[in-house]
Structure 1
Amino acid sequence: MEGGRCLSDYVEVYDGPLYTSPLLGKFCSGSFRTYTSSSNLLTVRFYTLSCLPDYMHVVVSRYYLQSQGYSAWNLSLNDPYCKPNITSEYVIFDIPYTSCGTVREGNNNTIIYSNLIRGSSSGTVITRNRNLHLHINCKMLQNTWAQIMYVAEDNFQVNETQYGRYDVNLTFYHSASFSRPVTDSPYYVDINQDLFIEAYLHSSDSNLVLFVDTCVASPTPYNFTTVTYDIIRNGCVQDSTYATYYSPYRHIVRFTFNAFQFIRNNPLVYLQCELVVCRAYDYSSRCYQGCITRSKREASSGQERVTVVAGPVQLLEA
C-alpha cells in the first residue's frame, strides 16, 4: 500500500542522505514498489531515535525487520542483558547513557554516546542474510544534541540527524543554603538585596561539568543587546558584587550578586546566562580556562553551549 493508506507501520524512502531529503514514498504490508534515487544515496527510515536527558529512546519497525528476514526477538545491545520492550508493531529500546554497554567518547568538539543494536535472521539453522547492525549515537555538539543512526553491514545506509537543546535550569533561591527555590514570578526584591542563583544540568552522565561563561541582565526577556548590564562576560567577572558558592556536584553551579535596577526603564530585570558543558577533567576545554579574552575564545573550537533566561526580578515599591 502507498501514501496515506499506510495507517500504522510503514517504511519511508527518501531521495538523499537524510530524511529531510525529498520523500519518494512509503510502503507497508502489501506494497511492492521500486524507487529510483537521483543520486547514489537513498535513506530508508524504519525507526525513530530520541536523545533524552537520561537515555536514548529507539523505536524499530517490526514490519521492516520481518520484511528483511530478521526476528524482533533476536535484537540485543552491547550488553545482551538489557532487553527491549516488544509490541505488536515495534521493538522499543530505552538505552541509558551510563549502562547497557553504552560507550562514551569525546574530544574538544563533541561528546558521543554510542551503542549497537544487533539483529540476526529468524531462521533456526542457517541463514544467507547478513547480520543487522544498527549503530546508535547521541552526539553533543555546539548548542545541540545531534542524533545519528545508521545501518552497517547491509546493502544500504541510513543516517538521521535531529537537534535539540541541553536540559539546563536557571533558578533563583531565597538564601545561600540553596534549599528553597523562588517560585514567585516576578520575584520581588529590595535594591541591593543578595540574589542567589543556581544553574543545574540535567544529565545521567556524572562525568560532565557545567561552567558559567557569560551572564547578562536586561529589562526585557527578548532583547539582550540594546540595554544590558554584564554580570560576567567570557568567564571574567564584571560586577563587583558577583561571587560563587561551593557546589557539591560538577553539574551544578551556584553564584550570587546584588539586586539593581535599570535607569529610565521598567523595574523588571531578566538574567540571560550562557553556560558551557564539558567533559570532567578535560583541562583543555572551556570549563577549565576561566577568564579569557574574546579573541582567545573565538580561537577555541567545539564549545558546547546552552543559553537560558531567568526572571523577572522586580524591585519592591518604597
Structure 2
Amino acid sequence: MSCRSNCGWNMGVCSCANSCVQHGTCCPDYYPVCATPSTTPAPACGGSQYSSGYFTSPNHPNYYQDGANCVWYLKTSHDQRIFLSFLFLELENCCSCDYINIYDGPSLNSRYLGKVCEGSTSSFSSSSNTMTVLFRSDQSVVGRGFKAEFKSILPPHSGRVHCSSYDMEIVIERSYLSSVGYDGKTLYLDDPQCKPTVTWSQVVFRYPLESCGNVRKFQNGSVIYSNAVRAYDNGVPTGEITRLSHFKLIVDCQMAKDSVSHNMYIGHSINDSTIIGSGRFNSTMHFYTSDGFHTIVTESPYQVSLNQYLFIEVRLDRFDRALILAFDSCVASPNKDDFHTRPYYLIRNGCEADSTVYIHYKHNPQYYARFRVNAFQFLRASDRVYLQCKVLICDRSDQNSRCRHMCMKRRTRRHLGSEQASQTLILGPIQLKEPEKIEDPAQNKV
C-alpha cells in the first residue's frame, strides 16, 4: 500500500530506510528526513574505438555505478581481426547481476562469443573486423570494474609464435610479407646473428629461449619472452638515415596460465606489427624415496604401505633462478581421468588440507616445490590413488606474488594483475602393498 495514503510518524514503512523516495512513496511529513534523490548524471560510457587501445568500466579504478548499461563498438581495417583481453576485473560475485558480454560483429545482434564475470574471464578474437562489448550492472553490489585492452590482429594463418621451456619458434608466411612489401630473406632478429630458415612459403626462426636477443619480462603475473623481427626495405640500408618504412614485427610469447597452449595471433599496432603467441613451461612431478629428494621412484605403480611417507617434487625442466614455484592445490582421486567426482584435497589454496601434509619451503619458495604426505586408500574404490597438483610459477623478485603468500584461507576479490602462470600435473598410481589392503566393511554385509 502506498505511503501517501498512510501518512504518520507511526508508519515505519514510510521511512528512507525502506526506499520511499526511490519508489515515490514518501509521506509529506517524512520529506525533511528523506534523502534527496541524486541529480548527478551517470558517467558516460561506451562508444566507438578503432584499431587498438584500452577501455574501462565507468569511474575505473573507482567503483562503477548501479544500473550501468555500456556498449563499446570496436573496429579495425577490413583485412584484420580484433583480439580482446582483460587486464583487471572486479565485479559483483554474481554472473547474472554484473557481467560483460562479447559479440562477434558490429552489434548486440551479432554472434555471441562469451561472458566475462567475477570468477571467470578469457580472451576473445573476432572473425571479422568488428566486435561489440556490453557491460551491465544491476541495482545491488558494485566493484571497481574492469580494464580491457584490444588489438588489431591478422588471421592466424599469416604467422605464429610458440615457446617452451627450451626454445622459441617464429613462423611467418611469405605471402603476408609480400603483401606488406618485404621478402623473407631480409629479416633478422634483435640479435642479427640469428638467421631464419627460408622456404618457398615460410620464414622460420627457431632458437634457444634465452638467446637471439630475447627479453624476459613479468606482466600481470605471466612470464613473457619478447623479441622483434626486423627488415630494411630491399634489405640494404643506405647512409645513416632513411625515410623508407622500417619493418618491425614485435614478438611476444606468453607462457600460458594453465597447461594448455592457446591459439597464436598476428597483431598490429598503429606503427608496428605484433605477433602474440603462447607457450608452456615444461615441468615434471615425481615421487622420491626420502626427504633428501635425491632418488626418484621409478617403479609403476608405486607400491607403498598405509601411512608410509610419500615425498613429491615438482620442478621446471630448465633451471632458472629468476623463477620460483609454489603449490596452489593438490588433490587425490582413485581415477586418473576424474578429479571432480571424489576429490580428496591434500593442499588447497596453498594451505595444508590434510593433517599429514608438510609443505617444504612454504615461507621461502624455491625453483622447485616439494611436500610430504602419509599414504592412504580410498574406501569403496580401487586400491590405486592418483595425484593432481597445480603449481604457481612466479617472479623471484616479486615479494607480493602468490608464491610468497600462498596459504589464503579466504580469497579476496579477483584481480587479474595478481594472477601467476601455472602448471597442472598428474602423478601416480600409488598402490597399497598386497598384505595391507583395507577391506570396506560395507562390502562384507549380506
Q: TM-score range by the shorter chain?
A: 0.7 to 0.9
Secondary structure of the equivalent of 1:294? Answer: coil
Aligned partner of 2:230: which letter? R
Secondary structure of the equivalent of 2:172? Answer: strand
**Greater mean alpha carbon deviation, residues 130-139 or residues 302-311:** 302-311
Match of 1:305 among 408, 417, 422: 422
- 2:198 maps to 1:133: no
Structure 1: runs of 5 or more not aligned: 1-12, 23-36
- 2:361 maps to 1:296: no
**What residue number does 1:266 align with?**
382
Give the direction of change, closer, same or farther, for the CA distance of 1:193–1:153 in structure 2 (3 Å limit).
same
Give the direction of change, closer, same or farther, for the CA distance of 1:148–1:208 in structure 2 (3 Å limit).
farther
TM-aligned CA deviation for residue 66 of structure 1: 4.8
TM-aligned CA deviation for residue 190 of structure 1: 1.3
TM-aligned CA deviation for residue 57 of structure 1: 0.1
**Greater mean alpha carbon deviation, residues 62-71 or residues 171-180:** 62-71
Contact 1:188 1:315 in 2 (8 A): yes
Aligned partner of 1:257: which letter? V
Aligned partner of 2:81: which letter? G
Separation in 1 of the partners of 2:229 and 2:274?
Answer: 14
Give the direction of change, closer, same or farther, for the CA distance of 1:299–1:93 in structure 2 (3 Å limit).
closer
Secondary structure of the equivalent of 1:282? Answer: coil
**What residue number does 1:240 align with?**
355
TM-aligned CA deviation for residue 234 of structure 1: 1.4
Contact 1:135 1:152 in 2 (8 A): no
Give percent identity, aligned residues only.
Answer: 38
TM-aligned CA deviation for residue 267 of structure 1: 1.0
Count of aligned positions: 287
More contact order relative to length (CA 8 Å, sep ≥ 6): 1
The residue correspondences of 1:80-91 to structure 2 (distance < 5 A) are 80-91=192-203
Alpha-carbon displacement from aligned partner over 1:190-210 (angstroms, at most 9, x marks no partner): 112121211022346541111
Give the greater-gyration-radius structure (CA).
2
**Greater mean alpha carbon deviation, residues 97-106 or residues 293-302:** 293-302
Separation in 1 of the partners of 2:161 and 2:199?
Answer: 17
Secondary structure of the equivalent of 2:354? Answer: coil
Contact 1:218 1:229 in 2 (8 A): yes
Match of 2:401 among 273, 285, 288: 285
Give the direction of change, closer, same or farther, for the CA distance of 1:189–1:159 in structure 2 (3 Å limit).
same
TM-aligned CA deviation for residue 78 of structure 1: 1.2
Separation in 2 of the partners of 1:97 and 1:43?
Answer: 25
Separation in 2 of the partners of 1:65 and 1:135?
Answer: 14
Aligned partner of 1:190: which letter? S
Match of 2:345 among 210, 214, 230: 230
Separation in 2 of the partners of 1:38 and 1:199?
Answer: 42
Alpha-carbon displacement from aligned partner over 1:23-82 (angstroms, at most 9, x marks no partner): xxxxxxxxxxxxxx9647773543232222222201223454356442433211112222
**TM-score normalized by the length of structure 2:** 0.56
Secondary structure of the equivalent of 2:420? Answer: coil
TM-aligned CA deviation for residue 165 of structure 1: 4.8
- When the two chains are superposed, the root-mean-square deviation of aligned CA atoms in Å is 3.4
Separation in 2 of the partners of 1:79 and 1:254?
Answer: 38
**TM-score normalized by the length of structure 1:** 0.75
TM-aligned CA deviation for residue 101 of structure 1: 1.8
Separation in 1 of the partners of 2:429 and 2:229?
Answer: 46
Give the direction of change, closer, same or farther, for the CA distance of 1:70–1:191 in structure 2 (3 Å limit).
same
Give the direction of change, closer, same or farther, for the CA distance of 1:72–1:128 in structure 2 (3 Å limit).
farther
Aligned partner of 1:302: which letter? E
